[in-house]
Amino acid sequence: MYTAAVTESLVKAGHKVSLLVTPDSPAANVKVLGEVTEKNGIEFLRTADVNSAVVAGKISKIKPDLIVSAHLRRILREEIFTLAAKGAINIHPSLLPKYRGLSPQHQAILHGDSESGVTVHFIEAGVDTGDIILQKKFAIGTEDYILHVQARMLTIYKTIVVEALELLESDSFRAMKQDHEQVSYFGPLKKADREIDLSRSSKEIYDLIRAVSLPYKGAFYKDYVIWAAGIGEDKILVEKYKNVGLYCEEAEDRVIIRLKDGCLVSEDFEIKKD
């Protein structure tokens, strides 16, 4: 999705894209990438190792001006990212230096941020540490879920790389160093990260539900997967369910999550038995 959008934006702007390399994994949207590369006459390489000698050989033969990494989720080694004459850039879905690593889109919601964004930065040996070329921000509303955040990011991905290249072509442009005192790093989300901890506040659990909902696997408590919820302000519910826990109201076809500071109400849930 993101990689295809970046590729098409570069072609549309008149840039020559000679090679697209993608990890040969279930997460790669191979069909879409295959269609984009075939339509635009771009060599398409699926590989188990993006840092392999085969990849290095193809890049060396092309002698590119620039390498662009878009939603790669792999760390490029120096022997790869230094092969282009002008180096390599990466598109990262957060406002660096916040949320370096592999779960930045989720982290902005999990932390209750009112904004997020996309950063284009130079690739260097550290993970997401390179100088910033361009950042674009957007607002996150209190009712936005991960799908809403991803849709806004996709819109930015369709233009931000072309704009970044225009900046790099300017003699007066200077990239901005990251403020290393503001750094945060998070790895990929694990199953345990999606589990609802009833000792947390209603706001924290609400943010968790928003952050890991579709197209991801959802927040869960025991056999219940919660896809969406609202913070209930009904005093009757608080009085009815005095103890912290999850309660299923079958007649109302809803779930009540009683927390220490109130209730969450979900009518969008499912019960999954292992």
Rounded Cα distance, 18 and 246, in Å: 54
**Residue 27 reports pLDDT greater than 70:** no
State the CB neighbour count (10 A cutoff) for residue 182: 10
Per-residue pLDDT, averaged over 243-264, amounts to 94
pTM over 0.85: yes
- Please report the pLDDT score of residue 73 as a whole number: 85
The whole-number pLDDT of residue 24 equals 82
Amino acid occupying residue 206: Y
Residue 249, C-beta contacts closer than 8 angstroms, at least 6 positions apart:
255, 256
Q: What average pLDDT does the segment 50-72 reach?
A: 95
Domain 2-186 CATH superfamily: Formyl transferase, N-terminal domain (3.40.50.170)
Q: Tens of pLDDT along 91-149?
A: 999 999 999 999 999 999 999 999 999 999 999 999 999 999 999 999 999 999 999 99
- Which segments of the chain belong to CATH 3.40.50.170? 2-186
pLDDT of 29 > 80? The answer is: no
Percentage of the chain beyond pLDDT 70 is 97
Answer yes or no: is pLDDT of 253 > 80.
yes
| Range 196-211 average pLDDT | 97
Give the ranges where the chain is alpha helix by DSSP (H).
Answer: 2-12, 30-40, 53-62, 78-81, 104-110, 146-168, 202-212, 235-240
Confidence (pLDDT) at 192: 97
pLDDT digits (tens, 9 = 90+) for 77-94: 999 999 999 999 999 999
Q: Is the pLDDT of residue 234 over 80?
A: no
Q: Which CATH class is domain 193-271?
A: alpha beta
Q: Which residues contact 218 (CB under 8 A, 6 or more apart)?
A: 194, 209, 212, 225, 226, 227
Report pLDDT for 274: 57
